[in-house]
Amino acid sequence: MKYGLLGKSLKHSYSKEIHELLGYYKYEYFEEDDLDKFFQRKDINGINVTIPYKEDVIKYLDEMSEDAKKIGCVNTIKFSDTIKGYNTDIDGMEYMISRIVDLKGKEVVILGDGATSKTAVECAKRLQARTIKVISRKGEHKFEDVDYYKNCDVLINATPVGMYPNNLKSVIKLGKIRPEAVFDVIYNPNKTSLLMDCDRLKIPNDNGLRMLVYQAVKACEIFTSKQIDDDVVENIVQKIRTKNMNIALVGMPGSGKSTVAKIIAKNTDKKLVDIDKIITQRYGNINDIFAVQGEKYFRKIESEVLEEFSKEKNLIIATGGGAVTVKKNFYYLHQNSVVYWIDRPNSKLSRKNRPIYKTNTMREIRQNRNYLYRRFSDKYFNNYNAKITAKLIVEDFNETIYY
């Protein structure tokens, strides 16, 4: 008998990885257009359901759980003598939220009015929120009506805006709105623009990965009739983050970023992406680019390459020394990476093939950039020995990734 995920465009889903880490069954993807035909199959024991079918599958069910009835959509179906639909998303959302904030007596604002929004509304009711406001693009209260919801205590983004591959888009900007906690159901990228704003403003937040893992665990319990500890949820969250998140290196030209990145790639399963090498392969010699088209043009193509690769996962990214001079590169890097600043004394910096050193002294560059390296980075390491630095970064990454 088979288990899997029913939906469309599933190649970036983590569901297979999560269910197979649970270890009870093989899991596959069903990208189906014909639901009538799918529900006639006799080889299915249990499925999860995602976009766009969470409401469409209801007509094929013999019965529904109380949560699924209240919410009006289904994300888990068990096939036995009857076909029963459940909503375990509400359990996942409760788990995600309750780790950070108690909703009792709070004003909760939910962005979006789709199936996930309905789940968020019922979750907020379950957790005894005082007031629940739903904001959407076309509803009675719209995203731009900030005065209506600017005093909210908790904000939940239940829209797909900002999800891969449309990274760094957001329906609102924090500023007037300063909630005490923010949740974004998106988990790819790891940090949406909204959550990066939260980090900047020191607002506690979480993405949708814990919700995804917890709802999968609850679905597995339905499929297998087994009880699974919450420790399993956290172990899977850590494994997925360790596997999928990137390590990015910033620092002065000649500080050893490429060398350290190569060592990390060799000692882990992360793929090496050297931004300067990618640029050379696509556009030619960097010295020639600086000489003929200038630094401004180089920074433009550097940002384009960073944007492309920073969306991806499980990479070790060695940036160019000047990547920190372009503000938007901060957001490109931080959406999926832990960023490390590695440094050396000026006397140890390599000047070979560094066009910036032809027009600026090392002292000038350091004075202009050190505050940017500090701003861009999560951690700092003095790169006195590349092998030791690589080892320390990997150790720190494995500890940092759990939050």
4 is in an annotated binding site: no
pLDDT digits (tens, 9 = 90+) for 379-393: 999 999 999 999 999
321 is in an annotated binding site: yes
Class at the top of the CATH hierarchy for domain 101-203 = alpha beta
pLDDT digits (tens, 9 = 90+) for 283-336: 999 999 999 999 999 999 999 999 999 999 999 999 999 999 999 999 999 999
Inter-residue contact 305 to 313 (CB < 8 Å): no
CB burial string 7-24: b at 16+ within 10 A, e below:
beebeebbbbbbbebbee
Q: How far apart are CA 117 and CA 125, in angstroms?
A: 12
Inter-residue contact 126 to 94 (CB < 8 Å): yes
369 is in an annotated binding site: yes
Catalytic residue among 26, 37, 42, 54: 54
257 is in an annotated binding site: yes
Q: How far apart are CA 26 and CA 22, in angstroms?
A: 10
Residue 252, number of CB atoms within 10 A of its CB: 26
The angle subtended at Cα 381 by Cα 315 and Cα 263, nearest 5°, is 40
> pLDDT at residue 213 above 60?
yes
Fold of 245-402: Rossmann fold (3.40.50)
pLDDT digits (tens, 9 = 90+) for 156-207: 999 999 999 999 999 999 988 999 999 999 999 999 999 999 999 999 999 9
Inter-residue contact 74 to 85 (CB < 8 Å): yes
Q: Where in the chain is the domain with CATH 3.40.50.300?
A: 245-402
3-state DSSP assignment of residue 323: helix
3-state DSSP assignment of residue 206: strand
Residue in 138, 168, 341 with CA at minimum distance from that of residue 256: 341
For the whole model, what pTM was predicted? 0.93
> pLDDT at residue 377 above 80?
yes
Q: Where in the chain is the domain with CATH 3.40.50.720?
A: 101-203
11 is in an annotated binding site: no
pLDDT digits (tens, 9 = 90+) for 36-84: 999 999 999 999 999 899 999 999 999 999 999 999 999 999 999 999 9
β strands within 148-277, DSSP E: 154-157, 181-184, 205-206, 246-250, 271-274
Q: Where in the chain is the domain with CATH 3.40.50.10860?
A: 2-86+212-242
Fold of 2-86+212-242: Rossmann fold (3.40.50)
Is-catalytic flag, 54?
yes
